[in-house]
Amino acid sequence: QSALTQPPSASGSPGQSVTISCTGTSGDIGGYNYVSWYQQQPGKVPKLMIYEVNSRPSGVSNRFSGSKSGNTASLTISGLQAEDEADYYCSSYAGSNNYVVFGGGTKLTVL
């Protein structure tokens, strides 16, 4: 059982926007601004998409954005494209003992 809770699936049509949630506690998401999101396309290595809640690494499309409210973080993908179909994992710093915890992943389907 993962420390952070994500919906197992999400979907949207090309061009639409979709938001994936990630719920934790005050000991992780709610306590720190260190939420990250990773995209894992089928058979590939996870790729960093968002760090520190809403920062994008160089090269990541600005269609990807992150936010946080209380104990819940969100990843929004706008202008959905077929290539966005993947599993998405959230993670958060959870204090010095637990360090980083992950969500169980959300499978995004582009209809």
Partner 1 sequence: QVQLQEPGPGLVKPSETLSLTCTVSSGSIKNYYWSWIRQPPGKGLEWIGYIYYSGNTNYNPSLKSRVTISVDTSRSQFSLKLSSVTAADTAVYYCVRDRGVWQYYFDYWAQGTLVTVSS
Binding site for partner 1 (CB under 8 A): 2, 32, 34, 36, 38, 45-48, 51-52, 57, 89, 91-93, 96-105
- To partner 1, the closest distance from the beta carbon of 93 in angstroms equals 4
Count of helices and strands (H, E) across the chain = 1, 9
Cα separation, 12 vs 76, whole angstroms: 12
- To partner 1, the closest distance from the beta carbon of 17 in angstroms equals 24
Residue placing its CB nearer to partner 1 in the complex, 38 or 64: 38
- To partner 1, the closest distance from the beta carbon of 50 in angstroms equals 9
Residue placing its CB nearer to partner 1 in the complex, 56 or 63: 56
| Angular region, 45: left φ>0, alpha ψ -120 to 50, beta rest | beta
| Angular region, 24: left φ>0, alpha ψ -120 to 50, beta rest | beta
